[in-house]
Amino acid sequence: MNTATITTEVLNDLVQINNDRIAGYEKARTELKDADADLKSLFLDMISESQKYKMALGTEIAALGEDIDTGTTNSGKIYRAWMDVKALFTGHDRKTVLNNCEGGEDAAQSAYKMALEVEDLPANIRTLISEQKASLRTSHDEIKRLRDAQV
């Protein structure tokens, strides 16, 4: 495969991870109680963050003359289905929602790490992916901190 094809595949994988993240946080917002307005607001910020990243990735895909993927990953669909099943048994409390969200953040970190392990990525793409990964790490750590603060 040529470098442009490999780069497009990596970028589209990350678009799908961000689509998963958006869908996951939208789902998480519906599971929260009205009293959890702070988390609903935080999750909106994280949805916005992923939409911004998706746009940046899409711009690079378009520059390569390719189309952006619009779907989510199979693992993301499985993850959301697991959240649905788990919620049936555990309820919709803050700690459960945050725990599920941390799992999604772990998956995003893993995807970005794998993307950075791909050889022959152009330097500008590698920089973009590294910057997004670092920012997503901050979001992961915030979710983890909030989860750990729950009794």
Side chain identity at residue 26, one-letter code: E
Taking only the tens place, the pLDDT of each residue in 80-132 is 555 555 555 555 788 888 988 988 898 899 899 999 999 989 999 999 999 99
**pTM of the entire predicted model:** 0.87
Residues in the chain: 151
Taking only the tens place, the pLDDT of each residue in 6-61 is 999 999 999 999 998 998 899 889 888 889 999 999 999 999 999 999 999 999 99
Phi, psi dihedral angles at 101 (to 5 degrees)? -65, -40
Sign of torsion over alpha carbons 92, 94, 99, 104: positive
Neighbours of 25 (CB within 10 A): 24
DSSP state of 71: S
